[in-house]
């Protein structure tokens, strides 16, 4: 049945397809024949080569480059206190005794590590009480020497500043030169007046209190250091000097925008007031009363790597009873530094000046034989000083510095024998204008890890002195050496000396007269040895001559011979005060 149905459907579809009509349509269209690109008829055919040659390229594949560009982030600098808070040296007590009779004592006490406070005590004493045993000096007056120093300090550390305080006391005993008792002065030699005339002891008290900022140069804030100073000097003949001072600076550091360098703007301030009272002056007379100096120095410094430029001006205002009115001796300040070889050699040069008060304190420390009632104090003014030098490192641990300076100074002080003194054994001070040339050199060398050497050499030349034939008692040449050697952890050796040549001086004679001639060279040396027995105990030995006691510097004395000192050192302070308690079993 299904078969017949399929045949019937197929037949029906065929009949329907054949039944569709077929229509045919004819169109009549006008057509015009046109020839295009007729100009190509007269041209030859162009054959185009479609084959392409392969081009060889030599190449290699590089490894991928990693981007390492970076920008360092700003690191805030640490704020450092002005003093090292960690104690570098332990407390110690050192005692010694030598020949001739020469006791030595030193004490150093410091507090334990503390981030808020630092305080301590320092005591130093050395004296020589032995008789004149050197041949040729037995008949001269007994002239002991002594130097005692005492100092205390207290520092308080804050976040941005440090308060500091110092109090120091110094007592120095010095005796003037005396004639031989066999030259006609034996009756006067043993009197108290004679012995007192040789003494020129003095007491010096100094107090300093101030505050300074702790920031480093990288921090762009105002830096400062301001301190008050007081000095009191009293001599055996009852000369007095008071000094009040205010000293300090205010500065600001900046950095260039695109250059690796810094700028520093700074203002230095110095105010000094001196008042003197002389032993031989009436109550209503004081020749150097109300002496003061006020000075301020604005400077600008530009620094890039090893190149530096500094510009400024010094403006001192000075007054004294020796002047009719206040003086303002202005002087320039300029310096240029060039780095010739980075880290090895730098060349620098500049110009500056200064105004300096020759106080009784400074003069008596330089020459303890000055006469009582030295009422001729005055200012020294360096109108201009031109300098230059070369410095750097030849190797990692060999530093050098060579310099030269030429200055013109008004009222430079010179010591001169007081010709009015009966024994010609004390000095007066005269003043002269001078042109001064100074050439110096220094070498510092750490030969090995345990050997340190230092060499110094200086040459002075004085031209056109207005009030003196020579620069009295000032050397032409001075050479110095210092060396220290550590042998293992137990032994320490050191050697130091200073030699001076070319000094001119006055030589007193027994007929109340004097002669002028060149002095012999002077040598001041000391050698030392120390043996560290334990961390707490050490022993030491020293040998030195006593040219440093000024006698050979001003009287052309033979030195007082060799001085030997031996002693011990006890270190303490870092161990606990109480031993730890043992546990009971």
pLDDT per position as a tens digit, 462-500? 999 998 889 999 999 999 999 999 998 899 999 999 999
- What length does the chain have? 585
Q: Is residue 240 part of a domain?
A: no
* Domain of 450, in residue numbers: 104-212+331-572
Helix or strand holding residue 541 (H, E): strand 537-545
pLDDT in tens, 262-277: 888 999 999 999 998 8
Q: What is the mean pLDDT of residues 437-450?
A: 91
Report CA torsion sign: 388, 392, 394, 399.
positive
- Report whether pLDDT(376) > 90: no
Q: Is residue 79 part of a domain?
A: no
Q: How far apart are CA 173 and CA 462, in angstroms?
A: 32
Q: How far apart are CA 270 and CA 356, in angstroms?
A: 11
Alpha-carbon Rg for the chain in angstroms: 45
Q: What is the mean pLDDT of residues 106-123?
A: 89
The reply to whether the predicted model has a pTM over 0.75 is yes
Q: Is residue 382 part of a domain?
A: yes
Contact 239, 276 (CB under 8 A): yes
- Report whether pLDDT(570) > 80: yes
Q: How far apart are CA 209 and CA 229, in angstroms?
A: 7
Q: Is residue 84 part of a domain?
A: no
Contact 331, 382 (CB under 8 A): yes
What is the per-residue pLDDT for 547? 46
Q: Is residue 565 part of a domain?
A: yes
How many domains does the structure of the chain reveal?
A: 1
Q: How far apart are CA 527 and CA 127, in angstroms?
A: 18
Q: Is residue 68 part of a domain?
A: no
Q: Is residue 245 part of a domain?
A: no
Per-residue CA distances from 428 to 133, 223, 417, 418, 481 (Å): 30, 43, 6, 5, 32
pLDDT in tens, 523-565: 888 899 999 998 889 999 999 876 445 566 777 665 566 788 9
What is the per-residue pLDDT for 418? 83
Reference 358, options 332, 382, 393; nearest CA is: 382
Q: Is residue 249 part of a domain?
A: no
What is the per-residue pLDDT for 79? 47
Start-end of H helices in 282-379 = 360-366
């Amino acid at each position: 049945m299904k078969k017949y149905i399929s045949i019937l459907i197929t037949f029906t579809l065929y009949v329907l397809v054949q039944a569709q009509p077929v229509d045919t349509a004819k169109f009549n269209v006008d057509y015009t024949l046109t020839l295009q690109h007729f100009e190509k008829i007269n041209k030859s055919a162009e054959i185009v080569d479609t084959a392409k040659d392969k081009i060889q390229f030599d190449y290699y594949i590089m490894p991928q480059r990693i981007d390492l560009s970076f920008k360092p982030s700003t690191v805030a600098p640490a704020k450092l206190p002005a003093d090292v808070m960690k104690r570098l040296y332990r407390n110690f007590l050192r005692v010694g005794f030598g020949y001739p009779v020469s006791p030595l004592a030193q004490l150093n006490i410091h507090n334990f590590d503390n981030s808020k406070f630092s305080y301590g005590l320092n005591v130093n004493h050395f004296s020589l009480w032995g008789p004149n045993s050197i041949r040729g000096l037995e008949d001269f007056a007994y002239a002991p020497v002594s130097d005692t120093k005492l100092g205390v300090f207290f520092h308080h550390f804050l976040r941005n500043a440090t308060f500091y305080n110092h109090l120091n006391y110094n007592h120095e005993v010095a005796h003037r030169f005396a004639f031989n008792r066999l030259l006609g002065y034996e009756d006067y030699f043993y009197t108290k007046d004679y012995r007192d005339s040789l003494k020129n002891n003095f007491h010096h008290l100094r107090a300093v209190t101030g505050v300074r900022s702790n920031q480093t140069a990288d921090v762009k804030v105002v830096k400062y250091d301001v301190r008050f100073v007081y000095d009191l000097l009293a001599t055996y003949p009852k000369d007095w000097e008071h000094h009040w001072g205010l000293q300090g600076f205010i500065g600001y550091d900046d950095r260039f925008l695109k250059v690796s360098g810094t700028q520093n703007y700074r203002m230095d301030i110095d105010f000094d007031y001196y008042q003197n009272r002389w032993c031989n002056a009436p109550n209503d007379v004081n020749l150097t009363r109300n002496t003061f100096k006020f000075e301020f120095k604005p400077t600008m410094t530009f620094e890039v790597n090893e190149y530096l430029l500094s510009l400024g001006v010094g403006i001192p205002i000075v007054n004294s009873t020796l002047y009719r009115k206040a003086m303002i001796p202005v002087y320039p300040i300029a310096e240029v530094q060039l780095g010739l070889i980075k880290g090895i050699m730098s060349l620098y040069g500049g110009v500056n000046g200064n105004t300096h008060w020759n106080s009784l304190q400074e003069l008596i420390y330089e020459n303890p034989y000055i006469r009582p009632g030295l009422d001729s104090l005055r200012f020294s003014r360096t109108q201009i000083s031109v300098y230059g030098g070369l410095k750097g490192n030849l190797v990692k641990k060999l530093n050098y510095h060579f310099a030269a300076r030429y200055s013109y100074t008004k009222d430079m002080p010179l010591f001169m024998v007081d010709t009015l003194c009966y024994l010609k054994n004390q000095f007066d001070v005269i003043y002269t204008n001078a042109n001064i040339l100074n050439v110096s050199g220094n070498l510092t060398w750490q030969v090995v890890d345990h050997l340190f050497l230092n060499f110094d050499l200086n040459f002075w030349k004085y031209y056109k002195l207005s009030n003196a034939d020579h620069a009295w008692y000032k050397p032409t040449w001075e050479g110095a050496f210092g060396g220290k050697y550590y042998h293992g952890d137990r032994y320490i050796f050191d050697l130091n000396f200073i030699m001076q040549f070319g000094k001119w001086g006055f030589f007193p004679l027994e007929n109340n007269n004097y002669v002028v001639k060149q002095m012999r060279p002077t040598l001041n040396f000391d050698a030392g040895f120390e043996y560290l027995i334990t961390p707490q105990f050490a022993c030491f030995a020293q040998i030195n001559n006593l040219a440093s006691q000024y006698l050979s510097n001003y009287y052309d004395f033979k030195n007082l011979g060799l001085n030997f000192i031996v002693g011990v050192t006890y270190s303490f302070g870092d161990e606990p005060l109480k031993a730890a308690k043992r546990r009971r079993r």
